[in-house]
């Protein structure tokens, strides 16, 4: 027995020495490679900006900031980081971990699990909506989307803890005094067995966005007569890997992306003016399908202000206040408004009251994920101007000289469309025609 124990001790000692040597070898190779390996500014795998080598300053050396920044740089620029990132996910999942970097590893689906949600921030944002509606006197609707964890609990890992956003939305419904809440909780819960959300991303799918748009129209504008059969369906990607996969390192799940353009859109063109001043004739940015974050095919990256002018035969001018959840819902609103002014308070510094007057706004719709309203205060900050003085009544569209393009004649609008179609590049062609040309796109 003693001989056996001695043999085992010797064997373990040799294994430890070999492992230590292997570790030193790997680290040495990594150090050498890191010297000659080029630095990268962005990780497509993690969908985030990577750390740069810090500037060496005396005060940073003294207070320790340089060391922390250098450590972040070494971790981000380590050769083969993407491989190790995915291996880390595989090992942790195999070890039974159910949560990685605020992402729950559910049954064939990833779930957002943020730690910074606050009911107080939600209440503050709801107050901002009420103040805005009361001050402007404009019809204001608020559509709040709960996250996948609150709807599809059955797919969460065992003993997963989360804030039930359905309950939060129900709780604040009684606080909507001047603004009106558009609740989609019942519709989502009754369809929870359907793919309402992407498996790898925190957003809802185009079909779910259409369900939300339908609920909004039924409750606020039944005269629209909206029907999902009025919208085409094209699958434009089957290789979408979203933000939750990027955060967790998941490498086995993929999603497909659909666009749902209005069937009559080709005969009813529109002009989009982007935040940088450029224009196009499509809300779809199909060139984004060539990058990691393919969800940007809907309206591109987050922008401060985007305006859309259509040929709709009415005087409805909508102010859409939103986070990225609204990006895939806008395609369902285009047939019903003469103009849509899209504002993301996280990036917009303009005063809403001036924007309302300048664009002749006569309706306000807010479309947000509950997660954003429980974690971000930019909306309540932006709407602080409505806490005291009321906004002057928005001028009638037909009398406003400041309204952009809305007051132009039909012929002038059509000339603008023709010019934009000539100048727009391939990435901003009509969505129906473009989708038909894309590889793997198919009409459903």
Q: Does the pLDDT of residue 221 top 70, yes or no?
A: yes
CB 283 within 8 A of CB 331: yes
* Tokens 């569209």, residue located: 397
CA angle 52/54/60 to nearest 5° reads 150
Q: Taking the CA atoms of 274, 280, 285 and 288 in sequence, report the sign of the dihedral they define.
A: negative
Q: How far apart (Å, rounded) are the C-alpha atoms in residues 360 and 404?
A: 9
**Of 130, 193, 26, 68, which is closest to residue 383 (Cα–Cα)?**
130
Rounded-to-integer distance, Cα 341 and Cα 365, Å:
10
pLDDT in tens, 397-407: 444 343 334 34
Considering the entire predicted model, what is its pTM? 0.77
pLDDT at position 35? 55
pLDDT at 22: 60
Which has more confidence, 302 or 72?
Answer: 302
133/366 Cα distance (integer angstroms) = 11
Contact 308, 271 (CB under 8 A): yes
Distance in angstroms (rounded) separating the CA atoms of residues 86 and 91: 9
Q: How many helices (H) and strands (E) does the chain have?
A: 15, 15
Residue 219 DSSP SS3: helix
Residue 209 has pLDDT above 80, yes or no: yes
Residue pair 333/299 in contact by the 8 Å Cβ criterion: no
Asked whether the predicted pLDDT for residue 387 surpasses 60, the reply is yes
**What is the reported pLDDT for 31?**
57
DSSP state of 97: -
State pLDDT tens for residues 81-132.
666 777 888 889 889 999 999 999 999 999 999 999 999 999 999 999 999 9
Task: Yes or no: say if 271 and 420 are a contact pair by the CB < 8 Å rule.
Answer: yes
């Amino acid at each position: 027995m003693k001989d056996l124990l001695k043999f085992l001790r010797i064997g373990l000692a040799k294994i430890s020495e070999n492992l230590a040597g292997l570790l030193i070898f790997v680290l040495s190779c990594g150090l050498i490679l890191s010297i000659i390996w080029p630095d990268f500014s962005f990780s497509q795998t993690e969908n985030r900006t990577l750390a740069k080598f810090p500037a060496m300053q005396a005060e940073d050396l003294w207070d320790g900031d340089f060391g922390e920044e250098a450590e972040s740089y070494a971790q981000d620029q380590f050769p083969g980081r993407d491989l190790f990132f995915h291996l880390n996910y595989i090992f942790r999942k195999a070890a039974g971990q159910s949560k990685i970097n605020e992402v729950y590893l559910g049954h064939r689906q990833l779930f957002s699990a943020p730690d910074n949600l606050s009911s107080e921030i939600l209440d503050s944002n709801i107050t901002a909506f009420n103040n805005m509606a009361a001050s402007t006197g404009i019809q204001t609707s608020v559509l709040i989307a709960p996250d996948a964890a609150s709807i599809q609990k059955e797919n969460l890992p065992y003993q997963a803890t989360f804030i039930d956003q359905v309950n939060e939305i129900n709780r604040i419904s009684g606080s909507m005094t001047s603004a009106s809440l558009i609740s989609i909780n019942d519709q989502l819960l009754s369809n929870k067995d359907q793919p309402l959300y992407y498996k790898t991303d925190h957003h809802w799918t185009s079909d779910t966005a259409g369900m939300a748009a339908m609920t909004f129209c039924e409750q606020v504008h039944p005269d629209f007569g909206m029907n999902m059969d009025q919208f085409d369906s094209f699958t434009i990607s089957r290789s979408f890997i979203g933000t939750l996969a990027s955060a967790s390192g998941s490498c086995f799940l993929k999603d497909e992306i659909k666009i749902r353009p209005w069937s009559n859109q080709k005969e009813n063109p529109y002009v989009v003016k982007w935040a940088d001043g450029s224009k196009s004739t499509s809300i779809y940015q199909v060139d984004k399908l060539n990058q990691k974050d393919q969800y940007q095919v809907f309206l591109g990256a987050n922008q401060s202000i985007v305006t859309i002018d259509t040929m709709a035969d009415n005087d409805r001018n909508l102010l859409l206040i939103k986070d990225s959840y609204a990006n895939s819902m806008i395609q369902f609103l285009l047939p019903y408004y003469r103009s849509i002014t899209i504002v993301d308070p996280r990036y917009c510094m303009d005063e809403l009251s001036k924007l309302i007057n300048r664009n002749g706004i006569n309706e306000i719709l807010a479309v947000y994920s509950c997660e954003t309203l429980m974690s971000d205060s930019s909306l309540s900050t932006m709407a602080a101007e409505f806490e005291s003085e009321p906004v002057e009544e928005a001028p009638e569209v037909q009398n406003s000289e400041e309204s952009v393009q809305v007051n132009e004649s039909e012929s002038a609008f059509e000339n603008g469309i023709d010019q934009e179609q000539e100048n727009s590049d391939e990435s901003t062609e009509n969505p129906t025609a473009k989708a038909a040309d894309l590889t793997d796109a198919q009409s459903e």
